[in-house]
Amino acid sequence: MSKAAASMTWRKKDDIASRPWTGRKREYDLFKELTVGVIVMGLLTIGLAVGFGSPDESSVTLKAWAVAAPADFVATAAAELGGSSDTAGYGAPYNTTADASQTIGPIDLQSLSGVQIPINTAVDLVTAPLSVQSNPPSELAQWNNASPDQQAAWATAYSDALTAAYPPDTRAGEANFDATKVAAGDYGPVPALATGLLTMAQTGALDGAIQNEGGFFNLDYTKSILFLGDGTYFVGLADAAHLTGDQWGMMNETGNFPGQSWLWLFSFWYQVPGVGDASNADILVVGIMLVLTVLLAIVPFIPGLRTLPRWIPLHKLVWKDYYSKR
């Protein structure tokens, strides 16, 4: 057994695997093989491209969201104002929310980067866009002059009332937003700001307003994408297309296309109870995949794993021609 195990080692020894081959040879034309390979793969590529094409589902705009699911849009705008959205409580690299990082024990890599992409959801996603309009809502001044506690109290109360009138599970399917369905209460300027943002979004002006916060030339779509993701409409579209994490969505794409099937193992860990549903699932999965990738790279150094090809002799099929002529 020790002799067999030694022959599977990566080390250079005085054996056949380590010495230049001195036995029989066969003709081999490297360039000819490359040429044939390029022709065959080219025909396959073009054939598949012509036969199946590629997916191109149009991107979702804030306008499309506001038109299709206004109640969800208003509820999300209120959450951005009150600091209760996912983005508002995300932590690094967007803001300084305490205890928001994903950690493994004492390891907190997320916080190490600090706030590199600062996002104030109330300002960046609601009040700043509203203020660039030719006729900004007069309630903006009331909001800006209120204390943070007062702002939070208004927004939280309105969000609670919206949740009662339009439950989160169904609000993405509501094609209309009826402000009178929301119970009366002390919401300050929040309803006017949220519905004002809805009107602005439905005209298409909000898409440009948020994007232009980065200046005329802006390739950073972080704010718009985070805003979309804070609502339920965008997630609902992804769910319908089987793209969410619990649907192995990491390796899927829209339409009937193979997607990133090579991410199957990455996606697999999100389905494992205790990992995929953990509050620190992402750093757990990334950590597991990093360890597995390193293990794959160092397989030649791992006894047992490197000997498996001898124990399960698939190599007999690969080299059956050689073995049959020994």
The rounded distance, in Å, linking the Cα atoms of 205 and 259 is 34
Query: Which residue is associated with the tokens 């805003």?
Result: 227
Stretch that binds other proteins, among 162-170, 177-185, 189-197, 308-316 (CB under 8 A): 308-316
CA separation for the pair 10, 4 (Å, rounded): 13
CA distances, 277 to each of 110, 168, 213, 243 (Å): 19, 20, 35, 17
Two tokens at 305?
């794993």
Task: Report the alpha-carbon distance of residue 139 to residue 189 in Å, rounded.
Answer: 5
Q: Which residue in 1, 2, 3, 29 binds other proteins (CB under 8 A)?
A: 29
How many CA within 13 A on the CB side of residue 124?
A: 21
Which among 57, 56, 67, 55 has a CA at the least distance from the CA of 233?
Answer: 67
* Of positions 5, 48, 141, 240, contacts other proteins by CB under 8 A: 48
- Interface with other proteins, residue 204, by CB under 8 A: no
Q: Where does this chain touch other proteins (CB under 8 A) — which range of 37-45, 70-78, 138-146, 202-210?
A: 37-45
CB of 84 to other proteins, least distance (A): 19
* 309 forms part of the interface with other proteins (CB under 8 A): yes
Site size toward other proteins (CB under 8 A) is 110
Contact positions with other proteins (CB under 8 A) in 288-307:
293, 296-301, 306
Q: Which is nearer to other proteins, 108 or 160 (CB)?
A: 108
Query: If DSSP codes are grouped into helix, strand and coil, which group holds residue 133?
Result: coil
Please state the closest distance from residue 147 (CB atom) to other proteins, in A. Answer: 31
* Shortest spacing between CB 265 and other proteins, in angstroms: 10
58 binds other proteins (CB under 8 A): yes
Spatial distance between the Cα atoms of 230 and 91, rounded to a whole number of angstroms:
15
The greatest distance separating any two alpha carbons of the chain, rounded to the nearest whole angstrom, comes to 91
Quick one: 48 or 164, whose CB is closer to other proteins?
A: 48
Q: Is 245 in the site for other proteins (CB under 8 A)?
A: yes
Shortest Å distance, C-beta 112 to other proteins: 5
Q: How far is the CB of 226 from other proteins (least distance, A)?
A: 7
For other proteins, the closer CB: 175 or 326? 326
Nearer to other proteins, 154 or 227 (CB): 227
Judged by CB under 8 A, which of 258, 271, 277, 291 binds other proteins?
258
Relative orientation angle of helices 148-165 and 70-82, to the nearest 10 degrees: 150
Considering only residues 101 through 160, tell me which ones interact with other proteins, judged by CB under 8 A: 101-102, 109-113, 116-117
Q: CB burial class (10 A; 0-12, 13-18, 19+) of residue 232?
A: buried
Rounded to whole angstroms, how far apart are CA atoms 90 and 274? 22
Backbone angles phi, psi at 26, to 5 degrees: -125, 155
Task: Give the residue among 139, 132, 260 at the shortest CA–CA distance from 190.
Answer: 139
The single residue among 128, 254, 272, 276 that binds other proteins, judged by CB under 8 A, is 254
Decide whether 110 or 159 has the Cβ nearer to other proteins: 110
Which segment (25-33, 131-139, 158-166, 202-210) binds other proteins by CB under 8 A? 25-33
Nearer to other proteins, 6 or 141 (CB): 6
Compute the distance between CA of residue 226 and CA of residue 86 in angstroms, rounded to an integer: 9
Contact call for residue 97 and other proteins (CB under 8 A): no
Is position 20 an interface residue for other proteins (rule: CB under 8 A)? yes
Task: Give me the amino acid identity at 158.
Answer: Y
Residues 261-280 that bind other proteins (CB under 8 A): 261-263, 280
Q: Are 185 and 155 in contact (CB under 8 A)?
A: no
